[in-house]
């Protein structure tokens, strides 16, 4: 059933006569059900002409710049980003000529003065197929997708001009039309294109999908349509570092809401002039949201940083824990880059033993995202076989939200260490036994000198929950500690020139230093342990 009623005829005839396409006419008439928009352009134009035949000779236009009697037929040129000339297809296009009849199928359509061809050329099956071909060639793995479009900001100006025209005409009939009564262009475009994408790619459109296909449109011919708004509403157009132009859609909409109707009419034609060409496609991009892999790692080397060690722009060591793990993940997930994080960190000369330290890796824009548990196990084994410096366990896919459990452990949980300590004075076993009896010792630590270049100066209170000593010789003993997460162990031993109080040296009344340090356990119950 044709969606327009007798009440809509006057507005429909007015818009059609001034160069507006059938789908935009539906939008201005408030047609909010999907089916009519999905008809082919030829069908829409034919149905609209039949509907308007009875009033062909009745309409008197009162517009400042009426279109010429002979409407020009323009050739459609797209050809951006691999999109061929979409007008060169078997079915051709239809155009309206001065008597309202349909032109031959080999002709090209007139470009809508409101949507600039978006609801004409770019929601037909031929264009959707072109986009889908690029999606399929991108190499991404996906089971659903979100489709996003970016329209030129001047479309908002043109829609505003058409709205003022229609509003004026309806006012003569004691009718009203609010801006919110017009169906949004993106909404109509979505109604038409989403089913076509689903059909062509065989997957559903899902607004929560991590896989996004985005199309950016431009229309160089009318790019200056927005410029007058800057002179009228300069405060709406402020430069931003990450924006190439001040004429963003949001800025334009802000100015349109602010400008008075009479001022707009003085600056911009109502109805808007008909353009010579349709929009061009600036880019078609495919991107997949990040996926996250977590696990626990052991570090067996005393010459391996957790992350790349770079000082004054110069790399000090050739590899790192994060890279030894992530390089394999990048390859298997076909990702562009990675971000490594963990529950705390150890120094380059500190080993991490026991059940390891929890870590998570964000894989940016991965092309492959579906792995079986067996494939993840094999990937874990591949990482472990590649280096004797590290070992990974409990490797698994996790959500972004789950990583919060790991971060909670950085300050709230306990960690266990084993240290080899040297003293300047000779010691006997009895000299260290008193340390075993100290429980929940509160210490105050200023930010260590060795990390002051990357951490703010602060005083931190930490708890040494327990200590256990093992005598080695008259200058060495082993100390096992259980501490609050975030405790600087090296500084607790040597005192850091008095910046950590109390410390092992002050407790024993000696000069003490740490020769070796191992992390024995990180008591964070994440990620979940897996069976080998």
Q: Which of 81, 181, 206, 347 is catalytic?
A: 347
Q: How far is CA 347 from the centre of its chain?
A: 33
Beta-carbon count within 10 A of 204 CB: 12
- Active-site annotation holds for 347: yes
116 DSSP 8-state letter:
T
Q: Is residue 201 within 8 Å of residue 135, measured between CB atoms?
A: yes
Please state, in angstroms and rounded to a whole number, the distance separating the CA atoms of residues 119 and 45: 13
Please state, in angstroms and rounded to a whole number, the distance separating the CA atoms of residues 431 and 474: 10
Helix or strand holding residue 322 (H, E): helix 321-333
Beta-carbon count within 10 A of 253 CB: 15
Please state, in angstroms and rounded to a whole number, the distance separating the CA atoms of residues 86 and 121: 8
- In degrees and rounded to multiples of 5, residue 266 shows phi and psi of -70, -30
Residue position matching structure tokens 């990937």: 379
Alpha carbon of 178 to those of 10, 73, 135, 163, 167: distances in Å? Answer: 17, 33, 39, 8, 8
Helical segments of 202-270, H only: 227-232, 249-258, 261-267
Q: Show the CA angle centred on residue 468, arms to residues 467 and 470, nearest 5°.
A: 145
Choose among 133, 132, 185, 137: nearest CA to 158. Answer: 185
Across the chain, how many H-helices and E-strands are there?
Answer: 15, 15
Terminal alpha carbon distance of the chain: 63
Choose among 294, 249, 7, 275: nearest CA to 149. Answer: 249
Q: Give yes or no for a cis peptide into 527 (omega within 30° of 0).
A: yes
- Which SS3 state, helix, strand or coil, does residue 240 take? coil
Counting other chains too, the contacts that 177-185 makes at CB distance below 8 Å and 24 or more residues apart are: 177/28, 181/30, 182/27, 182/28, 182/30, 183/26, 183/27, 183/30, 183/31, 183/32, 184/27, 185/24, 185/27, 185/115, 185/118, 185/119, 185/151, 185/155, 185/159
Secondary structure (H, E, C), 8-26: HHHHHHHHHHCCCCHHHHH
**Cα Rg of the chain (Å, integer):** 35
Q: Is residue 459 within 8 Å of residue 445, measured between CB atoms?
A: yes
Beta-carbon count within 10 A of 45 CB: 23
Supply the residues annotated as catalytic.
Answer: 347
């Amino acid at each position: 059933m044709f969606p327009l009623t007798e009440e809509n005829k006057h507005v429909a005839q007015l818009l059609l006569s001034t160069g507006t396409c059938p789908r935009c006419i539906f939008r201005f008439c408030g047609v909010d059900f999907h089916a009519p928009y999905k008809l082919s352009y030829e069908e829409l134009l034919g149905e609209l002409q039949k509907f308007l035949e009875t009033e062909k000779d009745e309409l008197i236009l009162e517009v400042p710049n009426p279109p010429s009697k002979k409407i020009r037929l323009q050739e459609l040129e797209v050809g951006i980003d691999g999109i061929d000339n979409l007008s060169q297809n078997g079915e051709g296009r239809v155009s309206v000529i001065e008597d309202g009849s349909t032109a031959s199928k080999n002709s090209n359509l007139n470009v809508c003065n409101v949507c600039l061809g978006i609801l004409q050329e770019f929601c037909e099956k031929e264009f959707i197929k072109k986009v889908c071909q690029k999606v399929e060639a991108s190499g991404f793995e996906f089971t659903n997708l979100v489709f996003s479009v970016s329209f030129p900001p001047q479309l908002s100006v043109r829609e505003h001009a058409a709205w003022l025209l229609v509003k004026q005409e309806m006012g003569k009939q004691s009718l009203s039309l609010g801006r919110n009564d017009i169906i949004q262009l993106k909404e109509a475009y979505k109604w038409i294109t989403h089913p076509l994408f689903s059909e062509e790619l065989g997957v559903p459109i899902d607004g929560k999908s991590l896989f996004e296909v985005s199309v950016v449109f431009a229309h160089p011919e009318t790019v200056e349509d927005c410029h007058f708004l800057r002179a009228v509403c300069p405060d709406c157009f402020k430069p931003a570092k990450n924006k190439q132009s001040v004429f963003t859609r949001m800025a334009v909409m802000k100015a349109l809401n602010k400008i008075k109707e009479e001022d707009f009419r003085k600056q911009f034609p109502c109805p808007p002039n008909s353009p010579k060409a349709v929009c061009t496609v600036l880019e078609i991009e495919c991107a997949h949201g990040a996926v996250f892999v977590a696990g626990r790692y052991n570090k067996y080397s005393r010459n391996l940083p957790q992350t790349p060690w770079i000082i004054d722009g110069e790399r000090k060591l050739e590899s790192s824990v994060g890279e030894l793990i992530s390089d394999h993940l990048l390859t298997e997930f076909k990702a562009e880059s990675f971000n490594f994080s963990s529950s705390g960190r150890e120094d380059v000369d500190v080993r991490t033993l026991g059940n390891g330290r929890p870590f998570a890796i964000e894989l940016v824009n991965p092309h492959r995202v579906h792995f079986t548990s067996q494939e993840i196990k094999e990937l874990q084994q591949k990482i472990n076989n590649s280096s004797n410096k590290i070992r990974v366990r409990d490797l698994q896919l996790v959500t972004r939200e789950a990583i919060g459990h790991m971060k909670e452990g950085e300050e709230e949980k306990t960690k266990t260490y084993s240290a080899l300590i040297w003293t300047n004075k000779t010691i006997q076993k009895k000299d260290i036994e008193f340390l075993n009896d100290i429980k929940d010792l509160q210490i105050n630590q200023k930010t260590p000198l060795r990390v002051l270049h990357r951490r703010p100066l602060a005083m931190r209170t930490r708890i040494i929950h327990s200590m256990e000593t093992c005598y080695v010789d008259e200058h060495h003993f082993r100390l096992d500690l259980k501490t609050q997460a975030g405790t600087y162990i090296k500084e607790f031993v040597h005192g850091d020139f008095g910046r950590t109080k109390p410390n092992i040296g002050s407790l024993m009344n000696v000069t003490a230093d740490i020769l070796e340090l191992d992390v024995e356990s990180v008591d964070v119950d994440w990620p979940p342990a897996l069976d080998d």
